[in-house]
């Protein structure tokens, strides 16, 4: 039987993390548990920055972006001696179990902590949607809507000036943000790690578009494909007839008030995580598959193949 649980956020922040924290705290208290917050992710765990939370600590945060517990990336957490400090700090306070809200890097830390005696449950908090064990991660929907808002605005000026807009979005080696926003925006071209397009083909297609009297084009590109997106846009200008301008949306994509979808997803997952810990589970991560909240062993989750959304790609092609 557990009595005290902790909650932390780790890795890149994502809108909806606060809703997940709130759900963990409120559900934990409701079931008679003591709940502790950990500041700055695994760093705070190692440094002992751990404090008790009550229901008021999570009042008025459902609408707030970022994470009230702040976040960090701690590479050293891979080392057992560093993790041991975290375990010692938790044991000192009598904390039996932990909810870790973050991306797949954070999941590995959660699994390792479980193996060292602290049951952990991972919640998928990242804008990237790069976790195979869930259809959607917390933060993805909000981020997608932010991208849409930005691209809508860029579209206005792109049309006025009859240009080609090359827009780089985040994703960290996962193309979902580019693919989904590309479909939502009817982009002329979408370039992602799963669906790369050779540069010659990009130029050829844009040249044809330009020659067919298309006055403007939108190209959405995942980050980390082109080392210099501005140089890529310059090559488009030289080779296609379009005047191209590159825009890097950057961290604007990670901020802002979470969408209804992310708030509800986070609430469902947070409450599920507490239930799982009360059932004595650990080393698992929570996902939403076909609108059902489910859990997977973390190692299994990390080895699942990611959906490459082939049917979505077909749809994009049909609607061109
Ligand atoms: O994982 C979320 C994410 O925003 C990625 O899309 C991006 O590659 C990375 O984090 C950027 O991280 P940071 O803000 O630490 O540079």
**Ligand 1 centre distance from Cα of residue 110 (Å):** 20
| Residue 117 backbone class (left: φ over 0; alpha: ψ -120 to 50; beta: rest) | left
Q: Is residue 298 part of a domain?
A: yes
Span 7-62, pLDDT tens digits: 999 999 999 999 999 999 999 999 999 999 999 999 999 999 999 999 999 999 99
The stretch 93-112 carries a mean pLDDT of: 97
Q: What's the domain count of the chain?
A: 2
Q: Is residue 42 part of a domain?
A: yes
Q: Are residues 134 and 262 in the same domain?
A: yes
**Ligand 1 centre distance from Cα of residue 254 (Å):** 8
Q: Are residues 106 and 153 in the same domain?
A: no
Task: Give the residue ranges of DSSP H helices in 166-212.
Answer: 176-185, 199-211
Span 164-196, pLDDT tens digits: 999 999 999 999 999 999 999 999 999 999 999
CATH number of the structural domain spanning residue 151: 3.40.50.460
Percent of the chain with pLDDT over 90: 98
Which residues have CB under 8 Å from 129's CB, separation 6+? 136, 137, 140, 171, 174, 176, 177, 180
Q: Are residues 101 and 156 in the same domain?
A: no
> Which residue out of 67, 125, 170, 193 has the highest number of ligand 1 atoms within 8 Å of its CB and is therefore the one to mutate?
170
Q: Are residues 250 and 128 in the same domain?
A: no
Q: Are residues 38 and 174 in the same domain?
A: no
Q: Is residue 311 part of a domain?
A: no
> Which residue out of 11, 172, 178 has the highest number of ligand 1 atoms within 8 Å of its CB and is therefore the one to mutate?
172
Report which protein residue has its CA nearest ligand 1's atom 15. 12
CB 140 within 8 A of CB 129: yes
Q: Are residues 159 and 292 in the same domain?
A: no
Q: Are residues 279 and 248 in the same domain?
A: no
Closest CA to 74 of 116, 102, 35, 36: 102
CB 180 within 8 A of CB 169: no
Instruction: Quote the domain boundaries for residue 109.
Output: 4-139+258-303
pTM for the model:
0.98
Give the model's confidence band at 320: pLDDT under 50 very low, under 70 low, under 90 confident, else very high: confident
Give the model's confidence band at 197: pLDDT under 50 very low, under 70 low, under 90 confident, else very high: very high
The stretch 286-303 carries a mean pLDDT of: 98
Q: Is residue 156 part of a domain?
A: yes
Q: Are residues 10 and 133 in the same domain?
A: yes
Q: Are residues 249 and 295 in the same domain?
A: no
């Amino acid at each position: 039987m557990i009595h005290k649980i902790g909650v932390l956020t780790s890795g890149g922040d994502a809108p909806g993390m606060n809703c997940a924290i709130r759900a963990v705290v409120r559900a934990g208290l409701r079931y008679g548990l003591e709940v502790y917050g950990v500041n700055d992710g695994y760093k705070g765990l190692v440094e002992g920055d751990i404090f008790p939370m009550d229901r008021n600590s999570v009042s008025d945060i459902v609408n707030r972006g970022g994470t009230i517990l702040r976040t960090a990336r701690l590479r050293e957490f891979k080392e057992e001696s560093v993790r041991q400090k975290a375990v010692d700090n938790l044991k000192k306070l009598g904390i039996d179990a932990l909810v870790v809200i973050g991306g797949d890097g954070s999941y590995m830390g959660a699994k390792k902590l479980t193996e060292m005696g602290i049951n952990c449950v991972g919640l998928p908090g990242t804008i990237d949607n790069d976790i195979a064990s869930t259809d959607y991660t917390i933060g993805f929907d909000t981020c997608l809507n932010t991208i849409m808002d930005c691209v809508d605005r860029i579209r206005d000026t792109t049309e006025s000036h009859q240009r080609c807009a090359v827009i780089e979005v985040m994703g960290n080696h996962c193309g979902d943000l580019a693919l989904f926003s590309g479909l939502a925006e009817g982009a002329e071209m979408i370039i992602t790690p799963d669906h790369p397009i050779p540069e010659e083909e990009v130029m050829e297609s844009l040249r044809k578009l330009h020659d067919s009297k298309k006055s403007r084009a939108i190209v959405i590109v995942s980050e980390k494909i082109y080392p210099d997106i501005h140089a890529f846009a310059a090559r488009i200008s030289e080779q296609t007839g379009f005047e191209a301008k590159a825009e890097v949306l950057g961290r604007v994509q990670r901020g802002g008030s979470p969408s209804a979808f992310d708030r509800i997803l986070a609430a469902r997952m947070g409450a599920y995580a507490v239930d799982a810990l009360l059932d004595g589970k650990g080393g698992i991560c929570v996902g939403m598959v076909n609108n059902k909240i489910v859990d997977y062993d973390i190692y299994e989750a990390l080895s699942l193949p990611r959906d490459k959304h082939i049917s979505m790609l077909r749809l994009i092609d049909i609607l061109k």
